A and B are shown apart, each in its own frame.
Chain A
Amino acid sequence: DQQVKQNSPSLSVQEGRISILNCDYTNSMFDYFLWYKKYPAEGPTFLISISSIKDKNEDGRFTVFLNKSAKHLSLHIVPSQPGDSAVYFCAAVRLDSSYKLIFGSGTRLLVRP
C-alpha cells in the first residue's frame, strides 16, 4: 500500500522558470509533510515542511502548498537554478506513529542552463 505517491519520475525545467513537483497521499491521518532534496550517494537534505492544518508555507525560493481535500501537495521552486537539479522526495508523518517518515518514490528534477 503506497501511501505517498510521486507520479512524475522526472521533470525538466529551464533555468529561471518555475519548477512544480507534485505529491499525492492516501492517508488523511498524516500530521505534516516534508520535502527533501537528494543527490546520489548522499543523505536527503531537508527543504521545507508543512503542517496538515496549513495550506501554504514559504521559505525563500521554495513554497509548499497543501490541498487536504484533494490529498495533494506540491513544491514550487522559483526561480529554478541549475544547482536545484537533484531528486526530490516528499514524505509524510503521523505523530502517533513516532517519527516514521513515509516517502514517495521521488522526482528527478533537471534544471537546464
Chain B
Amino acid sequence: KAGVTQTPRYLIKTRGQQVTLSCSPISGHRSVSWYQQTPGQGLQFLFEYFSETQRNKGNFPGRFSGRQFSNSRSEMNVSTLELGDSALYLCASSPGTGRSTQYFGPGTRLTVL
C-alpha cells in the first residue's frame, strides 16, 4: 500500500497570506489527523477528521481550519499567516476505529516571512 502523501513538501508565504495544505491518507483509512511541529512547542495536535466530520480539535485559533472529502483526502487551511505559523505540518492517517495506529506523512514545511 502507498503511504501517506502530503503536498506541497515546502512552502514559503508572507505574513497575512493564506495557505492550503493537502493530505492523502493510506487507502482504506478513514481518519486523518493534523499536527504542527515547532522547535518550541514540539508536536501538537490540530484536529482530526473521520468520515468527513471533525471529531476532535486542538487548542489552536480559528485561523486554522480543515476539511475532509468523501475519498478521505483532507486539506488544512491557515488564514492570515503569522510568523509563528512557520512549522512542519504533519498529517497522520489511521483506520479510525479501535486501537488503530496513526501513520504519518512526510510533512509540509511552511515558512512565513
Q: Given A45, A99, A102, A103, which contacts B100 in the complex, CB threshold below 8 Å?
A: A99
Q: How far is the CB of A61 from chain B (nearest CB, A)?
A: 19
In the bound complex, residues from chain B placing their C-beta under 8 Å from that of A42 are 106-107
Q: Given B4, B31, B55, B56, which contacts A43 in the complex, CB threshold below 8 Å?
A: B4
Chain B residue with Cβ nearest A31: B99
Chain B residue with Cβ nearest A41: B109
Q: How far is the CB of A47 from chain B (nearest CB, A)?
A: 10
Q: Given A34, A43, A103, which contacts B107 in the complex, CB threshold below 8 Å?
A: A43
The answer to whether B33 touches A99, judged by C-beta atoms less than 8 angstroms apart, is yes
In the bound complex, residues from chain A placing their C-beta under 8 Å from that of B45 are 100-102
Given contacts A34-B101, A45-B104, contact A97 B90 (CB under 8 A): no
Asked if B75 lies at the interface with its beta carbon under 8 angstroms from chain A, I say no
Contact mask for chain B residues 35-51; partner A; CB cutoff 8 A; 1 contact, 0 none = 10000001111001010
Q: Given B55, B58, B90, B94, which contacts A44 in the complex, CB threshold below 8 Å?
A: B90
In the bound complex, residues from chain B placing their C-beta under 8 Å from that of A103 are 35, 42-44
Chain B residue with Cβ nearest A106: B42
Q: Bin the interface of chain B by size.
A: 20 to 34
Main secondary structure of the interface of A (DSSP, over half): strand
Give bound CA distance, A41 to B88, whole Å. 8
Chain B residue with Cβ nearest A103: B43
The answer to whether A99 touches B4, judged by C-beta atoms less than 8 angstroms apart, is no
Give bound CA distance, A89 to B94, whole Å. 18
Given A31-B99, A100-B56, 15 new contacts (CB under 8 A): A34-B101, A41-B88, A41-B109, A42-B107, A44-B43, A46-B103, A91-B43, A99-B33, A99-B55, A99-B92, A99-B94, A99-B96, A99-B102, A101-B33, A103-B44
